[in-house]
Structure 1
Amino acid sequence: MSKREMNWAAIDADPRFQALHAKKTRFLWSLMIISMIYYFLLPFGTAYFGDLFKIQVWGPINVGLVFALSQFIVAWAIAWIYARRANSEFDAMAQDIINDAHNIK
Protein backbone atom coordinates (compact mmCIF):
# COMPACT_ATOMS: atom_id res chain seq x y z
CA MET A 1 0.00 0.00 0.00
CA SER A 2 1.48 3.35 -0.98
CA LYS A 3 1.41 6.49 1.09
CA ARG A 4 -1.43 7.83 -1.02
CA GLU A 5 -3.57 4.82 -0.19
CA MET A 6 -3.18 5.16 3.58
CA ASN A 7 -6.30 5.91 5.53
CA TRP A 8 -4.95 8.88 7.44
CA ALA A 9 -8.24 9.54 9.23
CA ALA A 10 -8.21 5.98 10.58
CA ILE A 11 -4.58 6.33 11.66
CA ASP A 12 -5.47 9.58 13.43
CA ALA A 13 -8.38 7.83 15.18
CA ASP A 14 -6.22 4.85 16.22
CA PRO A 15 -5.94 4.70 20.04
CA ARG A 16 -2.18 4.09 19.79
CA PHE A 17 -1.73 7.27 17.76
CA GLN A 18 -3.94 9.20 20.17
CA ALA A 19 -1.86 7.92 23.11
CA LEU A 20 1.38 8.86 21.34
CA HIS A 21 0.09 12.32 20.52
CA ALA A 22 -1.19 12.92 24.06
CA LYS A 23 2.04 11.75 25.71
CA LYS A 24 4.22 13.76 23.37
CA THR A 25 2.05 16.87 23.76
CA ARG A 26 2.12 16.71 27.58
CA PHE A 27 5.86 16.16 27.58
CA LEU A 28 6.57 19.00 25.15
CA TRP A 29 4.32 21.43 27.03
CA SER A 30 6.11 20.63 30.28
CA LEU A 31 9.51 21.18 28.66
CA MET A 32 8.31 24.44 27.15
CA ILE A 33 6.97 25.71 30.48
CA ILE A 34 10.23 24.85 32.23
CA SER A 35 12.28 26.57 29.53
CA MET A 36 10.07 29.67 29.53
CA ILE A 37 10.26 30.00 33.30
CA TYR A 38 14.04 29.68 33.20
CA TYR A 39 14.26 32.13 30.31
CA PHE A 40 12.17 34.79 32.06
CA LEU A 41 14.11 34.42 35.31
CA LEU A 42 16.90 36.45 33.71
CA PRO A 43 14.94 39.66 32.98
CA PHE A 44 12.94 39.36 36.21
CA GLY A 45 16.12 38.67 38.16
CA THR A 46 17.90 41.68 36.73
CA ALA A 47 14.85 43.89 37.30
CA TYR A 48 14.07 42.84 40.87
CA PHE A 49 17.31 41.31 42.17
CA GLY A 50 19.88 43.56 40.51
CA ASP A 51 22.19 43.49 43.51
CA LEU A 52 22.35 39.69 43.40
CA PHE A 53 23.11 39.68 39.68
CA LYS A 54 25.91 42.24 40.14
CA ILE A 55 27.92 40.03 42.51
CA GLN A 56 31.35 39.39 41.03
CA VAL A 57 32.13 35.71 40.55
CA TRP A 58 35.56 35.95 38.94
CA GLY A 59 37.14 39.08 37.52
CA PRO A 60 34.58 40.93 35.40
CA ILE A 61 32.25 37.90 35.41
CA ASN A 62 29.17 38.41 37.58
CA VAL A 63 26.20 36.26 38.59
CA GLY A 64 24.03 37.81 35.87
CA LEU A 65 26.45 36.82 33.13
CA VAL A 66 26.83 33.31 34.55
CA PHE A 67 23.06 32.98 34.69
CA ALA A 68 22.69 34.26 31.12
CA LEU A 69 25.27 31.78 29.86
CA SER A 70 23.62 28.98 31.84
CA GLN A 71 20.60 29.35 29.58
CA PHE A 72 22.62 27.71 26.81
CA ILE A 73 23.28 24.75 29.09
CA VAL A 74 19.60 24.54 30.01
CA ALA A 75 18.60 24.64 26.32
CA TRP A 76 21.06 21.84 25.51
CA ALA A 77 19.81 19.84 28.50
CA ILE A 78 16.20 20.21 27.36
CA ALA A 79 17.17 19.10 23.84
CA TRP A 80 19.03 16.10 25.31
CA ILE A 81 16.09 15.18 27.54
CA TYR A 82 13.70 15.36 24.59
CA ALA A 83 15.97 13.32 22.32
CA ARG A 84 16.45 10.68 24.98
CA ARG A 85 12.70 10.40 25.63
CA ALA A 86 11.89 10.39 21.91
CA ASN A 87 14.44 7.67 21.19
CA SER A 88 13.35 5.47 24.07
CA GLU A 89 9.59 5.92 24.07
CA PHE A 90 8.03 8.00 21.30
CA ASP A 91 9.94 6.38 18.43
CA ALA A 92 8.96 2.89 19.58
CA MET A 93 5.30 3.89 19.80
CA ALA A 94 5.47 5.51 16.34
CA GLN A 95 7.22 2.49 14.84
CA ASP A 96 4.46 0.23 16.14
CA ILE A 97 1.89 2.40 14.36
CA ILE A 98 4.00 2.53 11.18
CA ASN A 99 4.40 -1.25 11.13
CA ASP A 100 0.64 -1.69 11.30
CA ALA A 101 -0.36 1.34 9.21
CA HIS A 102 -1.44 -0.70 6.20
CA ASN A 103 -3.86 -2.69 8.41
CA ILE A 104 -5.50 0.30 10.06
CA LYS A 105 -8.92 0.87 8.54
Structure 2
Amino acid sequence: MTTRQHDASVYEQVQASERFQELKRHFRSWTFPMTAAFLAWYLLYVVLSGWARDFMGIKVLGNINVGLILGLLQFVSTFWIAWAYSRHAEKKLDPIADEIRHEIEGRPE
Protein backbone atom coordinates (compact mmCIF):
# COMPACT_ATOMS: atom_id res chain seq x y z
CA MET A 1 0.00 0.00 0.00
CA THR A 2 1.43 3.38 -0.97
CA THR A 3 1.65 6.25 1.50
CA ARG A 4 -1.06 8.12 -0.39
CA GLN A 5 -3.41 5.11 -0.22
CA HIS A 6 -2.60 4.69 3.47
CA ASP A 7 -3.34 8.38 4.14
CA ALA A 8 -6.66 8.17 2.29
CA SER A 9 -7.57 5.04 4.22
CA VAL A 10 -6.79 6.71 7.55
CA TYR A 11 -8.79 9.82 6.66
CA GLU A 12 -11.76 7.72 5.58
CA GLN A 13 -11.63 5.74 8.81
CA VAL A 14 -11.42 8.89 10.91
CA GLN A 15 -14.24 10.55 9.02
CA ALA A 16 -16.44 7.51 9.63
CA SER A 17 -15.58 7.33 13.33
CA GLU A 18 -18.06 8.25 16.05
CA ARG A 19 -15.66 10.77 17.63
CA PHE A 20 -15.31 12.65 14.34
CA GLN A 21 -19.08 12.67 13.90
CA GLU A 22 -19.39 14.03 17.44
CA LEU A 23 -16.86 16.74 16.60
CA LYS A 24 -18.90 17.73 13.55
CA ARG A 25 -22.11 17.79 15.62
CA HIS A 26 -20.55 20.08 18.23
CA PHE A 27 -19.20 22.36 15.50
CA ARG A 28 -22.48 22.54 13.58
CA SER A 29 -24.70 22.89 16.65
CA TRP A 30 -22.92 26.13 17.50
CA THR A 31 -21.93 27.63 14.16
CA PHE A 32 -25.14 27.16 12.19
CA PRO A 33 -27.47 28.83 14.73
CA MET A 34 -24.92 31.58 15.44
CA THR A 35 -24.48 32.25 11.73
CA ALA A 36 -28.25 32.44 11.23
CA ALA A 37 -28.64 34.77 14.22
CA PHE A 38 -25.86 37.07 13.05
CA LEU A 39 -27.20 37.21 9.49
CA ALA A 40 -30.68 38.02 10.81
CA TRP A 41 -29.20 40.78 13.01
CA TYR A 42 -27.18 42.17 10.09
CA LEU A 43 -30.14 42.07 7.70
CA LEU A 44 -32.34 43.75 10.31
CA TYR A 45 -29.85 46.61 10.41
CA VAL A 46 -29.82 46.87 6.61
CA VAL A 47 -33.63 46.76 6.40
CA LEU A 48 -34.01 49.37 9.13
CA SER A 49 -31.44 51.58 7.37
CA GLY A 50 -33.40 51.40 4.14
CA TRP A 51 -37.01 51.41 5.28
CA ALA A 52 -37.10 52.82 8.82
CA ARG A 53 -35.06 55.97 8.36
CA ASP A 54 -37.16 57.94 10.85
CA PHE A 55 -36.51 55.34 13.53
CA MET A 56 -32.80 55.10 12.70
CA GLY A 57 -32.54 58.91 12.80
CA ILE A 58 -33.88 59.27 16.34
CA LYS A 59 -31.31 61.22 18.32
CA VAL A 60 -30.26 59.45 21.50
CA LEU A 61 -27.49 61.69 22.81
CA GLY A 62 -26.33 64.81 20.99
CA ASN A 63 -25.67 63.82 17.36
CA ILE A 64 -25.64 60.11 18.20
CA ASN A 65 -28.70 58.42 16.72
CA VAL A 66 -30.18 54.93 16.81
CA GLY A 67 -28.61 54.05 13.44
CA LEU A 68 -25.11 54.88 14.66
CA ILE A 69 -25.60 52.86 17.84
CA LEU A 70 -26.92 49.85 15.94
CA GLY A 71 -24.07 50.16 13.43
CA LEU A 72 -21.47 50.16 16.19
CA LEU A 73 -23.22 47.21 17.81
CA GLN A 74 -22.58 45.29 14.58
CA PHE A 75 -18.85 45.54 15.33
CA VAL A 76 -19.36 44.65 18.99
CA SER A 77 -21.41 41.59 18.07
CA THR A 78 -18.79 40.47 15.55
CA PHE A 79 -16.04 40.58 18.17
CA TRP A 80 -18.32 38.91 20.74
CA ILE A 81 -19.07 36.05 18.31
CA ALA A 82 -15.35 35.55 17.63
CA TRP A 83 -14.65 35.45 21.38
CA ALA A 84 -17.60 33.13 22.07
CA TYR A 85 -16.55 30.77 19.27
CA SER A 86 -13.03 30.69 20.66
CA ARG A 87 -14.40 29.66 24.05
CA HIS A 88 -16.70 27.07 22.47
CA ALA A 89 -13.86 25.59 20.42
CA GLU A 90 -11.56 25.48 23.43
CA LYS A 91 -14.12 23.65 25.58
CA LYS A 92 -15.95 21.42 23.09
CA LEU A 93 -14.00 21.06 19.84
CA ASP A 94 -10.31 21.13 20.74
CA PRO A 95 -10.39 18.21 23.21
CA ILE A 96 -12.09 15.93 20.68
CA ALA A 97 -9.83 17.10 17.82
CA ASP A 98 -6.75 16.54 19.98
CA GLU A 99 -7.96 13.06 20.88
CA ILE A 100 -8.52 12.20 17.21
CA ARG A 101 -5.12 13.65 16.24
CA HIS A 102 -3.30 11.66 18.94
CA GLU A 103 -5.10 8.51 17.84
CA ILE A 104 -4.04 9.05 14.23
CA GLU A 105 -0.46 9.92 15.13
CA GLY A 106 -0.21 6.76 17.22
CA ARG A 107 -1.18 4.46 14.34
CA PRO A 108 1.52 2.34 12.77
CA GLU A 109 2.56 3.32 9.23
The residue number in structure 2 matching 1:78 is 81
Q: Output the TM-score relative to the length of structure 2.
A: 0.83
The two structures, once aligned, show a CA RMSD in angstroms of 1.9
CA–CA distance in structure 2, aligned partners of residues 64 and 34 of structure 1: 19
2:39 to 36, 40, 50: 36
Gaps of 5+ in 1: none
SS of corresponding position for 1:57: strand
Alignment partner of 1:59 is 2:26: no
Alignment partner of 1:25 is 2:52: no
Q: Sequence identity, in percent?
A: 29
Per-residue deviation, residues 68-100 of structure 1 (Å, max 9, x unmatched)? 111000001111110000011100011111121
Count of matched residue positions in the alignment of Structure 1 and Structure 2: 102
Per-residue deviation, residues 9-64 of structure 1 (Å, max 9, x unmatched)? 10111110011012202211111101101111112112332222111112221100
Q: Output the TM-score relative to the length of structure 1.
A: 0.86
Alignment partner of 1:97 is 2:100: yes
* Range that drifts further, 14-23 or 44-53: 44-53
CA–CA distance in structure 1, aligned partners of residues 34 and 84 of structure 2: 9
* Range that drifts further, 67-76 or 44-53: 44-53
Gaps of 5+ in 2: none
CA–CA distance in structure 1, aligned partners of residues 77 and 62 of structure 2: 24
Query: Where do 4+ consecutive residues of structure 1 move more than 6 Å?
Result: none
